[in-house]
């Protein structure tokens, strides 16, 4: 199927998100849409998938101009999009999610749907239990479900927004195999929206690069990563090396933590972290990293074991007690559980700035918002509602909200979905905190990030943990083996 | 609906250079608020239009209905005083609900909280003003009334806090908990005053208590015997309290954050469980005082079978139509009070006016039509004049700075 976007423009207020963009996608190919945060990639893909409508320009499918009022229209024309945060119904089961949105009258044929689901899962080698609840799945598994759902609706153009963030290396390899097979064997058009140039080079045959709402150019792949970087940023960025620093007292002492969730048994995890230390948690999605992090800030209560913060026993205490003792937690879902959509940046500070007064000091909140926006390079105004910021800016803002003088900072995927420059900026800020004596524990799906910034690494596999503290072992290859369960 | 920006001190420019941008922001938030302010009036106008249309179609002069509405509410000072007396329980309950709805809590149980307040006030009368006072305390007129209001507030607060505990500790959604507790409160009230219940006077067959003794009756204005100055002071006090909470206090901001995203608010350090119980309790206390008004109004002065008379549910509509804005609540609740009161007059007017061959139940259509029309007005607003700040996923600031 051939899809043409012709002279697409879209503005929000007086700002152009897309300006006169013309792109053509052929069947059987895998394309990348590249660009920095806020370059207009997401807007363009939302227009193509019927989620938003363009101000001007048209979409031509196989020579015929079409117009989409809603995502269902786009799906009827064979265009489906997989969002970065999968749009599913967590309280439903896998099968129910699969059925939702399928045509099929008032009484859906559950048996037939189950058959289709299992067939697709088997073809792609996805291991999904149709009766499992979606809120117990990892992002990677929810993504697999969404891909199968779209394919079962006869989608011929599959758009994926940052599909490799938040999923494991293994799931990524599997995803790429599936996408290649869909493009080459089934003739589907696959469009990948991504910041991760390695992924793009590995998977795609051609890349469109956007900058500030305009099309910079189309680049055939294979090519050098630096070529793409140059197109995206106009300059080449490199990862920074972190300086060595002395470690302080023990801030976290976790002793033989064990707990059982519906999906996973975490057993006997012990960890001591000293001030200024950075610990990276690696592992397949859902191997127990998130559970450990949540135990360390009081959001989960371990079945057995003890947690000490700064020498004080804290096991079983509520979250706010941990916060009081200098622990901060930055979750992965920014607008789901980190920030409050609908509130402005100033209001976030008014809410979080420590104060004994019962009233809000708006002047101070506004001043602080202004200062931190400046210091953390957030592109937004104090009065901007948080959801109008792009992902990278939201993450920088979330970081700017954290109090100073933290003992322990826990982060889930701190640079997920960010471009290289934003990710580096985040790490600059984190390393500065480390200099001030804050211990950092972070979860990441990107091994090079873990290798580059961690003093020690915990590798999770099925709830069990291997500690890697020898610099010689800290290579992506060795970690990859451990993550896969090879000791 | 965000309504606090313009009333917060943050809007005072910190730097003179910000004046232009801030002016525009103020203007924008005003434009956002404008449809919310106009929608109820549009709804009322549309509903009246429909009613008048029906009347005209039935061959009746719509003017008559209007006359009755006006005569029943605003025609003279005594009517206006009655209207204010009728309005206050609705207003004070609505103020309480602003807190819970802002925090994202559907306090359906408010009806039961009003009933419990009415029972609490009556209990105060029985403890301190009838027979031998409790502990031999002779509180005097003011003291007794004060204790009645305190007991009413406490009963309402307790009933509401129960909803909160059921939610936070028992995992019972506040809607289900509220509905159940409404039922229990109403049944308990019936038990007290009917079929030889403990509070029904011996030998009486009326489902109500005896009239309160003179010492436990609220003082009314000399010329308006249904309106008591004390209730006005308390209502104004409640209004000031809710204004302070919503527009000045950190707690109000926390409630707003919880209403938008409870999980994020919790992780950002808001004590959500405590706030759920607390906001419900304050709402319950205000609703309880509303219940006390209902039984202590000078011309009532007794606990009846239905002390609330649906004020709680009406208050929920008021708060929803006012978009949870404390500023709009007094106006919207006043309009509702007027329609309720005026509706009664139209109803009785039709009953006795034999020239009009109309089913008087037609008038009840009026209130529901208004609600429907107002909701429709909001729908129309959102469809054709989408609010600026509810624009998700724009990269406006992003692109603006590059």
* Cα–Cα distance, A230 to A207 (Å, whole number): 13
Q: How many CB atoms lie within 10 A of CB A358?
A: 12
- For residues A105 and B77, the model is more confident at B77
- The answer on A63 and A34 residing in a single domain is yes
Residue A327 phi, psi dihedral angles, 5° rounding: -105, 135
CB A360 to CB B249 under 8 A? yes
Average pLDDT, chain B: 81
Last residue of a domain, one of A233, A258, A283: A233
Q: A398 in contact with B at a CB cutoff of 8 Å?
A: no
Residue A215 and residue A371 in contact, taking contact as beta carbons nearer than 8 Å: no
| Top mean-pLDDT range of A250-254, B340-344, B351-355 | A250-254
Instruction: Output phi, psi for A411, to 5 deg.
Output: -130, 140
Looking at residue B135, the DSSP 8-state letter turns out to be: G
Least confident of B190-199, B230-239, B343-352: B343-352
Select from B331, B383, B359 the least CA-distant residue to B44. Answer: B331
Same structural domain for residues A393 and A468?
yes
Smallest CA–CA distance from B400 into chain A, residue: A15
pLDDT at A243: 57
- Which residues partner with A81 through β-bridges? A159
- For residues A156 and A225, membership in a common domain is answered with yes
Per-residue pLDDT, averaged over B111-120, amounts to 96
CA dihedral B364, B365, B367, B371 (to 10 degrees): 150
**Residues A223 and A314 both lie in one domain:** no
In terms of phi and psi (left: phi > 0; alpha: psi -120 to 50; beta: otherwise), the region of B206 is beta
Number of other CB atoms surrounding residue B107 within 10 Å: 30
Query: Between β-strands A3-12 and A56-61, what pairing exists: parallel, antiparallel or unpaired?
Result: antiparallel
Alpha-carbon gap, residue B75 to B69, rounded angstroms: 9
Taking an 8 Å cut-off on Cβ atoms, the answer to whether B263 and A38 are in contact is no
Is A337 touching B (CB cutoff 8 A)? yes
End-to-end CA gap in chain B: 30
CATH of the domain at A460: 3.40.50.300
Whether chain B has a CB inside 8 Å of the CB on A374: the answer is no
The burial class, CB within 10 Å (0-12 / 13-18 / 19+), for A445 is: buried
- Residues of A within 8 A of B394 (CB-CB) are 12-13, 15, 17, 388
pLDDT for the residue A225:
73
pLDDT in the model for residue B9 = 39
Range of lowest pLDDT (A41-50, A297-306, B44-53, B319-328):
B44-53
Residues linked to residue A344 through DSSP beta bridges, in sequence order: A385
Q: Are A26 and A208 in contact (CB under 8 A)?
A: no
Distance from CA of B60 to the nearest CA of A (A): 46
Pick A320's closest partner by Cβ from B2, B257, B271.
B271
Last residue of a domain, one of A201, A233, A265: A233
pLDDT reading at A263 higher than 70? no
Domain shared by A113 and A70, yes or no: yes
Q: Quick check: is A245 in a domain?
A: no
Residue with the larger pLDDT of the pair A244 and A459:
A459
| Residue A241 is assigned to a structural domain of this protein | no
Of A233, A259, A290, the one marking the end of a domain is A233
Share of chain A above pLDDT 70, in %: 92
Given CB atoms, is A438 within the 8 Å cutoff of chain B?
no
- Please indicate, yes or no, whether residues A146 and A283 belong to a single structural domain of this protein: no
Instruction: Determine, yes or no, domain membership for A117.
Output: yes
Q: How is residue B264 annotated by DSSP?
A: H
Which residues of A fall within a CB distance of 8 Å from B395?
Answer: 12, 15, 17, 38, 40, 42-43, 388, 390
Q: Determine the Cα–Cα distance for residues B184 and A364; give it in Å rounded to an integer.
A: 48
Structure tokens at A414: 């701190």
Give the range of the structural domain holding residue A302, as residue numbers without chain letter: 250-483
In this prediction, residue B18 has a pLDDT band, given cuts at 50, 70 and 90, of: very low
pLDDT of residue A241: 53
Question: Does residue B13 surpass a pLDDT of 70?
Answer: no
Do A386 and A267 share a structural domain?
yes
Mean pLDDT of B18-44: 67
Residue A171 in any domain: the answer is yes
Q: How many domains does chain A have?
A: 2
Q: How many CB pairs under 8 A join A and B?
A: 143
For A278, phi then psi, to 5°, come to -120, 120
Task: Judge if A289 and A191 occupy the same domain.
Answer: no
The three-state DSSP-derived secondary structure of chain A is CCEEEEEEEEEECCEEEEEEEEEEECCCCEEEEECCCCCCHHHHHHHHCCCCCCCEEEEEECCEEECCCCHHHHHHCCEEEECCCCCCCCCCEHHHHHHCCCCCCCCCCHHHHHHHHHHHHHHHCCCCCCCCEHHHCCHHHHHHHHHHHHHHCCCCEEEEECCCCCCCHHHHHHHHHHHHHHHHCCCCEEEEECCCHHHHHHHCCEEEEEECCEEEEEEECCCCHHHHHHHHHCCCCCCCCCCCCCCCCEEEEEEEEEEECCCCEEEEEEEEEECCCEEEEEECCCCCHHHHHHHHCCCCCCCEEEEEECCEECCCCCHHHHHHCCEEEECCCHHHHHCCCCCEHHHHHHHHCCCCCCECCHHHHHHHHHHHHHHCCCCCCCCCEHHHCCHHHHHHHHHHHCCCCCCEEEEECCCCCCCHHHHHHHHHHHHHHHHCCCEEEEECCCHHHHHHHCCEEEEEECCEEEEECCHHHCCHHHHHHHHCCCC
Q: Mark whether A173 and A280 lie in a shared domain.
A: no
- Examine the domain organization and report whether A261 and A228 are in the same domain: no
Q: Strands A408-412 and A327-330, how do they pair?
A: parallel
Residues 25-44 of B with CB under 8 A from A: 25
Q: Are residues A226 and A264 in the same domain?
A: no
Query: What is the percent of chain A with per-residue pLDDT over 90, rounded to a whole number?
Result: 29
**In-domain check, residue A244:** no
Q: Residue B350 has what pLDDT?
A: 66
Positive or negative: CA dihedral A429, A433, A435, A439: negative
Three-state DSSP at B383 gives helix
In a domain, A162, yes or no: yes
Query: Do residues A212 and A336 both lie within one domain?
Result: no
In a domain, A240, yes or no: no
């Amino acid at each position: 199927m051939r899809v043409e976007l012709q002279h697409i423009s879209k503005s929000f207020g007086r700002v152009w998100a897309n300006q006169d963009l013309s792109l053509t996608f052929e069947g059987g190919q895998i394309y990348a849409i590249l660009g920095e945060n806020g370059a207009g990639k997401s807007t363009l893909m939302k227009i193509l998938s019927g989620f938003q409508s363009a101000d001007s320009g048209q979409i031509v499918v196989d020579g015929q101009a079409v117009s989409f009022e809603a995502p269902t229209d786009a799906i009827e024309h064979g265009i489906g999009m997989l969002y970065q945060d999968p749009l599913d119904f967590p309280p439903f089961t896998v099968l129910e999610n699969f059925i939702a949105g399928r045509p099929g009258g008032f009484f859906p044929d559950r048996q037939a749907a189950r058959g289709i689901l299992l067939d697709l899962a088997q073809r792609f080698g996805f291991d999904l239990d149709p009766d499992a609840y979606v809120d117990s799945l990892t992002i990677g598994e929810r993504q697999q479900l969404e891909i199968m759902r779209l394919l079962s609706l006869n989608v011929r153009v599959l758009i994926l927004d940052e599909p490799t963030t938040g999923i494991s290396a293994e799931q990524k390899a599997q995803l790429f195999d599936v996408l290649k097979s869909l493009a080459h064997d089934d003739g589907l058009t696959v469009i990948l929206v991504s910041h991760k140039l390695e992924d793009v080079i590995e998977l795609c045959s051609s890349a469109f690069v956007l900058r500030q709402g305009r099309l910079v150019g189309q680049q055939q792949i294979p090519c050098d990563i630096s070529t793409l970087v140059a197109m995206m940023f106009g300059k080449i960025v490199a990862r920074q090396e972190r300086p060595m620093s002395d470690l302080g007292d023990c801030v976290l002492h976790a002793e033989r933590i064990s707990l059982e969730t519906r999906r996973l048994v975490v057993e006997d995890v012990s960890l001591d972290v000293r001030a200024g230390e950075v610990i990276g948690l690696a592992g397949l999605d859902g191997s127990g990293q998130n559970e450990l992090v949540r135990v360390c800030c009081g959001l989960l209560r371990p079945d057995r074991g003890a947690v000490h913060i700064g020498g004080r026993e804290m096991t079983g205490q509520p979250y706010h007690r941990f916060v009081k003792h200098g622990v901060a937690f930055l979750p992965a879902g920014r607008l789901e559980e980190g920030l409050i959509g609908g509130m402005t940046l100033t209001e976030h500070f008014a809410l979080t700035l420590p104060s004994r007064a019962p009233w809000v000091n708006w002047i101070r909140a506004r001043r602080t918002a202004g200062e931190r926006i400046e210091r953390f390079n957030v592109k937004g105004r104090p009065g901007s509602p948080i959801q109008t910021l792009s992902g990278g800016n939201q993450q920088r803002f979330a970081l700017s909200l954290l109090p100073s003088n933290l003992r322990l900072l826990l982060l889930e995927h701190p640079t997920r979905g960010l471009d290289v420059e934003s990710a580096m900026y985040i790490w600059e800020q984190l390393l500065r905190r480390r200099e001030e004596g804050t211990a950092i524990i972070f979860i990441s799906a990107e091994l090079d990030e873990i290798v580059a910034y961690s003093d020690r690494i915990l590798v999770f596999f099925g709830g069990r943990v291997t500690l890697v503290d020898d610099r010689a072992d800290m290579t992506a290859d060795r970690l990859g083996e451990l993550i896969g369960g090879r000791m | 609906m965000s309504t606090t920006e313009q009333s917060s001190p943050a809007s005072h420019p910190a730097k003179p250079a910000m004046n232009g941008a801030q002016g525009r922001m103020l203007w924008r938030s005003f434009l956002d608020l404008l449809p919310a302010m106009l929608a109820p009036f549009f709804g009322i106008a549309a509903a009246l239009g429909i009613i008048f249309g029906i009347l005209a179609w039935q061959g009746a002069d719509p003017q008559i209905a209007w006359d009755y509405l006006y005569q029943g509410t605003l025609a003279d000072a005594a009517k206006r005083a009655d209207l204010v007396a009728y309005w206050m329980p609705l207003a004070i309950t609505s103020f309480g609900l602003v807190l819970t709805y802002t925090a994202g809590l559907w306090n359906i149980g408010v009806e039961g909280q009003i009933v419990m307040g009415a029972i609490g006030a009556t209990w105060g009368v029985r403890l301190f003003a009838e027979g031998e006072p409790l502990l031999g305390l002779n509180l005097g007129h003011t003291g007794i009334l004060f204790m009645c209001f305190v007991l009413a507030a406490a009963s309402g607060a307790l009933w509401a806090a129960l909803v909160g505990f059921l939610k936070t500790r028992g995992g019972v959604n506040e809607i289900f908990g509220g509905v159940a507790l409404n039922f229990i409160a109403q049944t308990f009230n019936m038990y007290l005053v009917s079929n030889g219940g403990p509070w029904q006077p011996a030998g009486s067959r009326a489902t109500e208590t005896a009239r309160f003794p003179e010492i436990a009756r609220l003082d009314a204005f000399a010329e308006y015997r249904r309106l008591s100055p004390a209730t006005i002071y308390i209502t104004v006090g409640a209004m000031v309290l809710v204004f302070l909470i919503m527009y000045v206090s950190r707690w109000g901001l926390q409630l707003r954050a919880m209403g938008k995203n409870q999980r994020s608010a919790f992780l950002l350090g808001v004590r959500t469980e405590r706030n759920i119980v607390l906001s419900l309790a304050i709402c319950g206390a205000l609703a309880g005082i509303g219940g006390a008004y209902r039984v202590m109004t000078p011309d009532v002065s007794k606990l009846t079978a239905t002390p609330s008379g649906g004020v709680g549910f009406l208050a929920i509509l008021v708060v929803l139509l006012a978009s949870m804005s404390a500023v709009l609540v007094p106006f919207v609740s006043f309009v509702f009070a007027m329609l309720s009161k005026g509706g009664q007059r139209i109803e009785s007017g039709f009953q006795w006016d034999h020239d009009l061959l109309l089913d008087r139940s037609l008038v009840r259509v009026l209130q529901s039509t208004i609600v429907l029309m107002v909701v429709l007005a909001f729908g129309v607003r959102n469809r054709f004049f989408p609010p600026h700040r509810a624009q998700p996923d724009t990269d406006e600031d992003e692109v603006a700075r590059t």
